[in-house]
Amino acid sequence: MVTAFDTWKCHICGEERPNGKISVLTKPLIINGKACGKQNIRYCNDRPACIERAKEFSFSKEVTDGVRKSPKHSR
């Protein structure tokens, strides 16, 4: 029987994977040069491409030099 947390979706490749094949990388969320939270990025721990891309991945849409701009600066 599969329960809600037996599988997770990889944030990198988008594939649903078994719990044991997913790891989480926690990175600071930087907005306007200040750390204002954390982001947890799920990635396939058995796929080199997902591992490498997770290092650079951010949920922020507007990122310049690793710094997300706040909405008032993105116009």
pLDDT tens digits, one per residue of 5-25: 799 999 999 999 999 999 999
CA distances from 73 to 29, 38, 58 (A): 17, 21, 18
Instruction: Show me where the domains of the chain are located.
Output: 7-73
Which tens digits make up the pLDDT trace of 25-68?
Answer: 999 988 888 889 999 999 999 999 999 999 999 987 654 555 44
The per-residue pLDDT for 60 is: 79
* Backbone φ, ψ for residue 61 (5° rounding): -85, -35
Euclidean distance between the first and the last CA atom of the chain, given in angstroms as a whole number: 49
Give the residue with greater pLDDT, 39 vs 74: 39
